[in-house]
Every structure is written in C-alpha cells, then in structure tokens.
Amino acid sequence: MYDPQPLNQQHHMDSFDCGKEELNFWLSTSALQAERNRTARTFGWTSDGEHDVVAYYSLAGHLLQKDEIPSRAGRGGPSQIPAVILARLALHKTLQGGGLGGRLIVHALSTALESSRSVAARLVVVDALDEEAARFYERYGFIRVPGNMRLVRKMSDIEADLSG
C-alpha cells in the first residue's frame, strides 16, 4: 500500500500534518535541503501513485561517546561509537492508531541496518521529541539514556529481530 522512497522535488510535503508542528515544519522546509547537503536522507510514503507524503523518516550518520550511553549498549566498543541517527519519524494524523507507525519504524530500522553493511554503525540513536515519542521507541526495543530524551538500540539486536 505504501512504498517508502527517497524524497525529491516531485513529492508534495506542504499538506503533511502529523500533529507535531516541529515535524511538519521540518519536512516542508528542510528535508530537501538536508538531502542536497547530504546531512540526512529522508524517505517518504505516498498513497498509490500520488505524490502527497503521508509518512516519512530521516536517517543520518552519527557518532556517540561511549560514556554518554548505557553501558549495555556501549560495552566492548571504542570510546567513540559509530551510529545511525533516526532523526525524524512521522505519520500523518489520518493514519495514526492503525499500526502503520510500527511498519514505518521497521522500514527505517531495516534501512539503517542495510546501510550499516556498507558503512559500519553499531547503534541506532533517536532523540525523542516528547515523552509520547519516547514510549513509542521503547516499544520497539530502544533503551533510554538516563537523564534525557535520547534512546539507543544496538544494530545487532535490530538484525536479530528483523531476521527472526
């Protein structure tokens, strides 16, 4: 039904509304600029042959300091840990509550995992926008970094979940 694809000029993003103004605004004003600057790669869902974006996520490379994450996520790693940051993830209000958020995050994690096969990354990290978002990510195996809204998940755990 929805086929994630890299965003481009043909996609319509101005009418996107996930209920979080920060995520709506970033999509309409910054997603294509981030793509051009190679600072984030954004994938969008569109409805059957349409160009209106109904969901999206953005991924970028990241580097974490080992002492800034829970020990079970950084154990055995170097002092700086390569990661993929799930910088944005949003679903249009009309699609929320039907399980599609789970499909969207699975696709985002699959994309991150696939990219880590070419460019090493040990973790996926996300900075949750609010408590509701943090709880959403926790349902998908992310663990909180104490004292803030950052969550991490080991790439090896993602790979195990996706292959099983």
Q: What is the pTM of this model?
A: 0.91
Q: What is the structure's pLDDT at 1?
A: 65
Cβ(55)–Cβ(95) under 8 Å? yes
Tell me how far CA of residue 153 lies from CA of 74, 86, 118, 162, in angstroms.
10, 11, 19, 13
Domain boundaries, the chain: 5-163
CATH superfamily membership of 5-163? Gcn5-related N-acetyltransferase (GNAT) (3.40.630.30)
Tally of CB atoms within 10 A around 99: 9
Question: Tell me: the pLDDT tens digits for 35-78?
Answer: 999 999 999 998 766 788 999 999 999 999 888 887 777 777 77
Q: What is the mean pLDDT of the chain?
A: 91
Tally of CB atoms within 10 A around 160: 11
